[in-house]
């Protein structure tokens, strides 16, 4: 049986990647624990009188309803509960704060259910909330796809290619540690106007990355997570919390979670700037070439000598995938990482990418198998368009490494703040 830790917390079956304790600590509640429960443990656990308030996640948002003596009207209408508050008589009252978080997420992405032809992926607890809010907020049509085929299965997707204008993912598909997967190909939806994904880890799922590439407005799940936690805390303690707290907490969470990725020509100074950035930010720097050496068990020139560039690039892509799954680090890439298109999505899924620029004549060739004796102008002609495609912004390495690192850190912090500008001032959606 799961042991009592604190009077507040999150219940669910698998909670290893949850950041809810950090969010609630930022909301002023350090007494918040993660409680992993098996289904048979649920009734006995909730009977513990020491518990005061809880959040509820997969797979118990519907299962807790019979254990509540009272439901908030919105939770009752939706048929899903993600917040429990102990009442003076010792019973539980159930609330749904996912609805508030969902509306905040939609607003942040410039999305709306009003008049939309919605294709909803998944039919679990959070899906119930999305279905209810989509209808309350005026969607034109709502189609739910799931594995069991309660309404339709994923085999029925082609029926909805032409009509769908808004797609919402309410499944775990695309979440770490299984990032890079998506249930749909957005290029098949000619009238698509928006995409939302309730997943927050990684910051940009494969679904959202494709939406960005296609220029389709989109929104990720971190906004929903922070906003619903804010309203849950209001229920926990009976006190209002200004909407500006969403921006304050969300920007910090995003800043701490996303990676800073450095790309650029061999010898442009990525590692040196990475060292300066590590000192400035306190983040761990990970050199992908060093990780390749560890994985291969041999130096890079030996990898090239034995298997050529293809062998090296294969290992490099494996390392990119592994290291991109980390959070809040500095990833220093090799100069040719951009030559394989498959590396872009992992690097971008949870990172902001900076191209380090330096004149060709100033590039160092030492210790670089492809640079020694190579025509760097010809190499640059091939790679420069790829660097520009991968990069979010470019940094000129024409000063001290410390100055370049400071520019990157300023840009990165400004970027994370700008992502939350919608909630900087009070005002409910």
Measure the N-to-C terminal CA separation of the chain; round to a whole number of Å.
Answer: 40
Question: What distance in Å separates the CA atoms of residue 83 and residue 94, rounded to the nearest whole number?
Answer: 6
DSSP state of 61: T
Strands (E), 192-257: 194-197, 218-219
Instruction: Pull the structure tokens for residue 423.
Output: 């909630």
* Given 52, 61, 230, 314, the catalytic residue: 61
- The interaxial angle of helices 125-136 and 98-108, nearest 10 deg, is 60
Closest CA to 243 of 256, 257, 255, 226: 226
Full strand arrangement of the beta sheet holding 285-287:
285-287, 330-332, 259-263, 351-357, 393-396
294 prior amide bond cis, ω within 30: no
What is the CB neighbour count within 10 angstroms for residue 155?
9
Which DSSP string corresponds to 89-158? TS-EEEE--HHHHHHHHHHHTT---TT-EEEEE--SHHHHHHHHHHHHTT-SEEEEE-SS-SSB-GGGGG
Question: What distance in Å separates the CA atoms of residue 231 and residue 169, rounded to the nearest whole number?
Answer: 22
- DSSP lists the bridge partners of residue 169 as 121, 197
What is the CB neighbour count within 10 angstroms for residue 314?
13
Strand pairing of 83-86 and 53-56?
A: antiparallel
Closest CA to 313 of 284, 292, 287: 292
Residue 326 annotated to the active site: no
Residue pair 23/48 in contact by the 8 Å Cβ criterion: no
Residue 307 neighbours by CB under 8 Å, 6+ apart: none
Question: What distance in Å separates the CA atoms of residue 423 and residue 231, rounded to the nearest whole number?
Answer: 14
Query: Left if phi > 0, otherwise alpha if psi is -120 to 50, otherwise beta: which for 106?
Result: alpha
Catalytic residue positions, numbered: 61
């Amino acid at each position: 049986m799961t042991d009592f830790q604190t009077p507040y917390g999150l219940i669910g079956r698998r909670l290893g990647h949850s950041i809810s304790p950090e969010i609630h600590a930022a909301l002023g509640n350090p007494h918040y624990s993660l409680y992993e429960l098996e289904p048979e443990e649920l009734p006995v656990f909730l009977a513990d009188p020491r518990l005061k308030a809880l959040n509820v996640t997969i797979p118990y948002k519907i299962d807790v309803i019979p254990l509540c003596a009272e439901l908030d009207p919105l939770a009752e209408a939706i048929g899903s509960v993600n917040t429990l508050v102990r009442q003076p008589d010792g019973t539980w009252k159930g609330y749904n704060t996912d609805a508030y978080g969902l509306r905040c997420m939609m607003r942040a992405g410039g999305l709306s259910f009003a008049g939309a032809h919605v294709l909803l992926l998944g039919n679990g607890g959070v899906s119930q909330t999305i279905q209810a809010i989509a209808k309350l907020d005026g969607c034109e049509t709502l189609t739910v796809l799931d594995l069991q085929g309660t309404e339709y299965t994923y085999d029925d997707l082609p029926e909805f290619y032409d009509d769908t204008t808004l797609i919402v993912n309410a499944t775990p598909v695309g979440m770490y540690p299984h990032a890079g997967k998506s249930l749909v190909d957005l290029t098949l939806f000619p009238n698509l106007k928006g995409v939302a994904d309730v997943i927050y880890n990684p910051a940009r799922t494969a679904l959202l990355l494709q939406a960005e590439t296609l220029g389709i407005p989109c929104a990720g799940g971190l906004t929903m997570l922070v906003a619903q936690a804010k309203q849950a805390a209001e229920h926990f303690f009976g006190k209002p919390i200004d909407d500006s707290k969403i921006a304050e907490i969300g920007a910090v969470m995003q800043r701490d979670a996303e990676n800073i990725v450095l790309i650029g020509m061999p010898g442009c100074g990525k590692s040196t700037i990475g060292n300066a950035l590590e000192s400035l930010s306190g983040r761990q720097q990970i050199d992908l070439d060093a990780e390749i050496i560890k994985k291969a068990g041999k130096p890079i020139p030996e990898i090239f000598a034995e298997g050529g560039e293809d062998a090296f690039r294969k290992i490099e892509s494996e390392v990119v995938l592994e290291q991109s799954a980390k959070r809040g680090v500095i990833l220093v890439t090799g100069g040719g990482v951009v030559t394989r298109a498959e590396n872009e999505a992992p690097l971008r899924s949870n990172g902001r990418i900076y191209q380090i620029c330096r004149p060709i004549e100033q590039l160092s060739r030492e210790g670089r198998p492809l640079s020694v004796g190579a025509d760097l102008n010809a190499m640059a002609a091939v790679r420069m368009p790829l660097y520009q495609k991968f990069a979010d912004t470019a940094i000129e390495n024409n000063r001290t490494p410390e100055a370049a690192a400071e520019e990157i850190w300023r840009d990165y912090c400004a970027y994370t703040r700008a992502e939350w500008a919608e909630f900087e001032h009070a005002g409910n959606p």
